[in-house]
Structure 1
Amino acid sequence: MSKTMNPADWIDGGMTPPRRLPADTDAALAYLADTLGHVVYTRWTLAAIKGRYASLADAKVAHPTVMRQLLDHALVVEYWDRGRVRTAAIDDAPTPEAVLQRVLHTHRRRFKVSPEARLPAANGEPIRDATALVTVPQPLIAWLARAGRFANVASATNTLGVGDDAHAVALFLRDRASRSPHTLRAYRTELRRLVAWCEAQQLGPLSDLTRHDLLAYREALRKPSHDAVDDNNRTVAEATQARALAVVASLFRYWTETGYLTANPAAGLVRGGRSRTSFAPQRMLPGALLDACDAWVTEGFNDDDALVVARRRAIWALYRYAGVRLVELVWSDDAQLPKLEVDDSECWTLHVLGKGRKTRAVPLPGLCAPILKTYRQLRGLPPQPSPYEHAVCVLLPTAIPKVESFTEIGMAG
């Protein structure tokens, strides 16, 4: 930054939306001190000290170096230099412009000079990126080729560098949905749904929508009416509602963060997932199918020996009732796991090596205890493990083979 450069040429990219620094040097220094949270450039006189602190004793505790130098100098400067606060008399301190230059250079990842490509062109609009328009459906380009009252078009803080909603939508789709064709297709569908609703309500463009408009759109998704947004005049499914609002919220958040909008009318539009109304567990399998699996494990292999059946039942019980992953039942020599423990209250706990090779303790329900006792007895072990037990009682082989069914897992090893 040269000494003649205006501080307003610098953009604070750490704010949402990005913000231009004040043009006045002192105002820019005060802005940096407020946003960075440390001293940048402060002038101290004895009168300023008396106006800030209730007593000179308090001032001496807060600024001992400043107070010492004020004994010999009428004006003392505190300034930021290379990560430290330094103090010097006004004649020995660097100029405010030099301090401003150093601080902006130190935080150059956040503060940047607005490049010429992002400055407004002669027609009052930023330079457009036409290559990204391929992500926008062709019928929507004409409708979106406008800018609303909240669009930050002729400003260097518009880091997208575009002047209408069509190009802003294209960049949003490119940055947020281009990794997956399915995501891109879903985002396009929801944008078409929003545009269709705007046309029905005679609203638009998108950068002109207010918070009231977006709340009305949310209500239109939730209840059927002659203004319903789907083709069959039916209430949109709850999952589709959530996806539609999430896409809208993501679009306006992206526009605000990149400076294309001056405000985010969709803030708080999506409040997260549905809250649970109870703690009742929900299973993916119906009860009848679980009962059939229980019978299959217990009675479906009468021709097998008792140890194989008991081992299979132990695996199934831990998998179903305790949520233990099959790989966690494989014996680990270095961790000496899995291991069973029983406390004085007859409560069983299984210690396993979980994800990330982190140990975890799994309290076992009472239903698992008799099944494990039977299996242990058939393995020649006491029904209940002692505190000093050190036995390799594996439920799965040390190397899990590639299998095609739970039966093969139960019979392996």
Structure 2
Amino acid sequence: MNPSDWLDTGCRPPQRLPDSVDAALGYLAHALGHPLYCRWTLAALKRGCPSLADAKREHPAVFALLLEHDTAIEYWERGRLRVVPEVAAPSAATVLERALRQHRRRFRAAAPDDTAGNAREGTAVTRTGAPSQDLAPLPAGVEPAWLARAGRFANQVPLTNTLGVSDDAQAAKLFLRERASHSPHTLRAYLSELRRLAAWCRREGLGPFSDLTRQDLIAYRDALQAPRQDAAGAVTRPAPASVSRALAAISSLFAWWHRVGYLTVNPAEGLAAGRRARMTWTPVRFLSAAALTHCDAVAAGDAPAGVPPVLWMRRRAIWTLYRYGGVRLAELVWQEEPALPHVEVDDARQWTLHVLGKGNRLRAIPLPGACLPALRAYRNAMGLPADPPAAERLPLIHSERGPALGASGLYDEVRALFALAAARVPAADRAMRAALERASTHWLRHGYARTLVVDHDVPLPVAQALLGHASVQTTAAYARTGQNEARAFVEGSFGAS
């Protein structure tokens, strides 16, 4: 294929791609925000990293492959980077053609009468640590062209607009690349909130983003906080924490745009409570000790009718990992490239769970001995040794229809155990039944944190490391007392003489 036969319609005016495949791959990597095709050797890896230890940490899959092969190819396929030996890799031209067809909303084959100028040769290749995503698809009813505009507050002066772009779509993509590319969880959250704001703007006849006034954003905040009526007629109010997260994402976008010169003003200044809200956040979704003990007893019991023994053992293992590991829902989802999560077993047969948390930060969590019988029983039921061997690269939790259970499957398994436990609660204990019916995997994470910080006075830096919190302030929130705890402290300090 000839790359110059393709047009990039995301720029104004549209431009032809460079003539060579390598230059076109570099152009697309810069435009899409993630690498497309890289040829690695040990020499190239050493040039890009201060030491071999840094190379192993930053590019673990590439490093491992180069120990057995002279050359490795890292290429983009189906939404993620893959690393294979050079002999097993597709050609650079094949990867380029796949990327162009995957992003056909932006790139198209040039017609004979197209007069767009040639793309600049030697466009810089931007390498990022993690893949980025485009803003498309936008919410239903929102045309892609809606965001590819500039509003009244967009800075049209090239001297002070350091982004070098002239429409909201490109500016939003650069914001996501810089602020959210380090974590897929953060990226999904930002995309969700930007799409929600875009849908609201379309309904109200406003937009694009750079055209919104402060009054428009306050009206959006009011819309987020407004009560809603479900299909059954029940009226509910959005949780304050959910509204705060939504506003924080929007405020972050406008603040960054203003800071880099894309906006002349920041209409979202002070829209979200920001740091003050985080400092006053207190987790409230907990299960009582009695409820957790009841769930543990249900999990330790026999399989309910209709559930095969192997699937019941799997459910017990999933419950055990969330209950005693304090992990986030997505942290137990199997990832092929880093072979995570995985368990390391020491000489004393003690288990340590290794997961990849937010910000692609590795975390090691010692698992207590109380949870090991359920995990070993599940492995035995699967025909595996009770303790994982050092070289094992298998998912912790299997799936009947694939190699590993995904996030929704893990969530459903925990919810199924909560539902079973709720059904077995005595009829008189309505509060426990209601709590179990609402509980989710994150309630178990809150309970794990509270057990560490409150019940056993674990030092905050240690608890922070176990929980994977970026800020110790988040960990400290679990130590904040409610009125009942405060009264107990006062009574204990100034009891009747």
TM-score when normalising by structure 2: 0.30
Which structure dedicates a bigger proportion of its chain to helix? 2
TM-score when normalising by structure 1: 0.36
Larger radius of gyration: 1
